[in-house]
Chain A
Amino acid sequence: MPFTTLSELKTRLDAGETTAVALAGLYLDRIAEHNDNLNAFVHIDPAHVLAQAEASDAYRAKHAPRALEGLPIAVKDIFCTQDGPTQCCSNILKGFHAPYDAHVITRLKEAGAVLVGKTNMDEFAMGSSTETSAFGVCRNPWDTDRIPGGSSGGSAAAVAAALTPAALGTDTGGSIRQPASICGITGLKPTYGRVSRRGIIAFASSLDQAGPMTRTVKDSAMITAAICGHDSMDSTCVSDAPVIDWLGSCDKTDMKGLKIGKPKEYFVDGMDAGVRASIEEALRRCAELGAEIIDISLPHTEAAVAAYYVIAPSEASANLSRYDGVRFGQRCKDPEDLLDMYTRSRDEGFGSEVKRRILTGTFALSSGYYDAYYIKAQRVRTKIRQDFIDAFEQVDVIATPTSPITAFKLGEKTDDPLTMYLSDIFTIAVNLAGLPGLSQPCGFVEGLPVGLQWIAPAWREDLILGAASAYEAATDWLQIPAGFGGEA
């Protein structure tokens, strides 16, 4: 039961075979049993979870069930919720209770979902391993000496170990897709502007996007359908976004006529040979399913990491200026004056990776360097967007590895920030171009999951949902990590 998909749970609820209270109890028990080992959740309020489940069962007794009626969904600690703390896994927000719900939280509640708790993450979503959390590292269910990926590592680990059937993450440079890949589950970053960012603690506003992390492609589609759509309070949430058939797109079982681009820049020296072999094998499978595999080039791929590590820290340095010890967040003890209060509150409240990014961004935006770094990176961003526009003249979708490596050991890359940054090399360009991207499991190397990434033109999530559904139907890579067992 715990490893059942979200859509199957919905079927069982709708058939009266189980109740929201029973499901909430099941997953709360699993969290109680396994969370000490994984540290996937940083906040759980069982009484509140059960109260939501009771309310959902009461609603179902009187009305037709809503889209996510009674289904447990966890959310990353980056989403503002009026219930319980919202701390972004940072000391500077320790004890912060948001005075409003994020738009996507409102949408989940309106769809009848039961919010399970807050999941662990890299502090302010800055990281690729969930090791920079102020609440301690999160561990990978496939090997608890290894990282779950990041920054949405808690959401990924929780879904992989079935502590929840689904979770929300956010993705600024790969933070949904990379941990989904590393933990062997499915994660979707929608097109930039598809989902409102209101009430999601901002990291880099032109890149951030929320999305689902689930066991199957259809489960991701179910959640995205419920959370997407215009929000008049986020001016970057596009009001006339093309509407797609989220669930219908997941019915595909073949790839006849689909042109899949295979970019040569994503199959490079230095990537893990086992990962490469898994992706090559996955593409052979796609060809068997009727797809045409076409070699393409995205020439500015390598520049994407460099452009990202100018643009994202620059936006972060501006966004994080709000943590000044005045309106919310921690204030240092006995400040001598205003400047001492700002500088000491921020030194005490932020962890090292957050400081590094603020310093990098402040440098790139500072007088004398702004044109050479920030504006230059934005011009390169235009070229990266153009690469994809050109590629989609030839192909319908693009398939790549999600990460060049599988889960590495805890502590292995914490000494060298630049090496850590390079683990996002295959996910970053998608954010810079604002495109939808999905990672799904496609194999194992030495017992560790490998992820296949699908990229589509803006607003064409239907294309990647269709391709990923067909691949999922033809393969059997969604597996249960040993030690977290239970029948499916």
Chain B
Amino acid sequence: MEIDVRKVAMLSRIRLTDEEAAEFGPQLSSIIGYVEQLAAINTDGVPPTAHPHDVAMPQRADVVTNSNRRDALQTPAPNTESGLYVVPKVID
């Protein structure tokens, strides 16, 4: 299968160099070609498995348990100001 690797890369928010696009295109086609063997397996009426065990989502008591750790959590950020994350200008 021919895959538009540039389109997939844009959906993934990864800028590819020309060399990378040339390398990844055929590799993606080969990987997707391999997984296409799944189509040959009869799964009529078989439900999908998203999680290995059939357990109900647990709930905990509706009480606040976490404290405000804003400064610690923002320490690894590339750029912050007044407790906010700074990014390039979005609106002109």
Contact = CB atoms under 8 A, between A and B. Distances in A.
A358 interface: yes
B89 A337 contact: yes
Interface in A322-358: 324-331, 335-344, 346-347, 350, 352, 355-356, 358
A144 interface: no
A174 B76 CA distance: 31
A466 interface: no
B82 to A, nearest CB: 16
Contacts of B9: 359
Nearest to A346: B14
Contact of A327 (B8, B10, B76): B76
A206 interface: yes
A418 interface: yes
Contact of B34 (A347, A375, A418, A432): A418
A465 to B, nearest CB: 20
Contacts of B32: 360, 363, 373
B78 A325 contact: yes
Contact of B38 (A330, A376, A382): A376
A48 to B, nearest CB: 19
Given A306-B37, A379-B48, A385-B49, A331 B11 contact: no
B14 A309 contact: no
Contacts of A379: 43, 46-49
Interface in B1-37: 3, 5, 8-17, 20, 23-24, 27-28, 30-32, 34-37
A440 B12 CA distance: 39
A98 B75 CA distance: 9
- For chain A, give the interface size range: 35 or more
B73 to A, nearest CB: 5
B51 A236 contact: yes
A310 B14 contact: no
B38 A380 contact: yes
Given A99-B72, A303-B38, A377-B35, A355 B87 contact: no
B85 to A, nearest CB: 5
Interface in A412-469: 417-418, 421, 432-435, 458
Contact of A99 (B5, B38, B76, B87): B76
A418 B46 contact: no
Contact of B20 (A310, A325, A342, A352): A352
B24 A383 contact: no
B68 interface: no
A37 interface: no
A193 B52 contact: yes
B88 A335 contact: yes
A300 B88 contact: no
Contact of A382 (B13, B23, B47, B78): B47
A341 B85 CA distance: 14
A346 B52 contact: no
B77 interface: yes
Interface of B: 3, 5, 8-17, 20, 23-24, 27-28, 30-32, 34-39, 41, 43, 46-53, 55, 57-58, 60, 69, 72-79, 85, 87-90
Interface of A: 96-99, 192-193, 206, 232, 235-236, 238-239, 300, 302-303, 305-307, 309-310, 317, 321, 324-331, 335-344, 346-347, 350, 352, 355-356, 358-360, 362-364, 366, 372-373, 375-383, 385, 417-418, 421, 432-435, 458
11 contacts: A235-B57, A238-B53, A239-B58, A306-B34, A326-B77, A326-B78, A328-B76, A359-B5, A362-B12, A382-B47, A421-B31
